[in-house]
Each structure stands twice: as C-alpha cells, then as structure tokens.
Amino acid sequence: MVEVDVQKKTATVQVDLTTGEIKGFQIEESGESSFPLSRGMMLLIGGSIGIVVAALVILKLMGML
C-alpha cells in the first residue's frame, strides 16, 4: 500500500508486489491543512503588522510616545 499527500487530498493505492498490478485506490480530502490561511491573507497580516511597527517607531522617534 502506498499513500501520497497532494495539496489537500490523500491518495491510497494498493499494488500487488508480485505482478505490479494496481488492486485498488482511494482518494480522500485531507482533514487537516498545514497552512489554514491562504498566502494572500498571510501577506496581508504580515504587511499590516509591519506598517503598525513602522508607525510606532516613527512616533517614538518624534517623541510622541
């Protein structure tokens, strides 16, 4: 039996080792994701944090904090 994870799906393939024949297969949606947020959402959050940090540093340099 061979299991392969591709994107959000898992493929399980049963192979007969003596003949090399595929006996069966199954493709399932994976229940868990390694990155629950999309790349765009992570960039948006990271950019927002960067802007807030930069603004705080500028305000501190200007003596307003």
Encode the chain (65 residues) as per-residue pLDDT tens digits. Answer: 666 777 778 888 888 888 888 888 888 887 655 557 778 888 898 999 999 999 999 998 998 87
Tell me, yes or no, whether 64 and 54 share the same domain: yes
Residue 61, classed as helix, strand or coil, is helix
Q: What is the per-residue pLDDT for 51?
A: 92
Distance CA 32, CA 15 (A): 26
> Are 3 and 13 within one domain?
yes
Give, for 12, the enclosing helix (H) or strand (E).
strand 9-15
For the chain, report the end-to-end CA distance as a whole number of angstroms: 63
Same domain as 40, residue 18? no
Question: Both 45 and 65 in a single domain?
Answer: yes
Rounded to two decimals, the pTM is 0.45
Tokens of residue 6, six digits = 């591709």
pLDDT of residue 14: 86
Q: Which residues span the domain enclosing 26?
A: 1-33
pLDDT at 49: 92
Q: What is residue 34's predicted lDDT score, i.e. its pLDDT?
A: 57
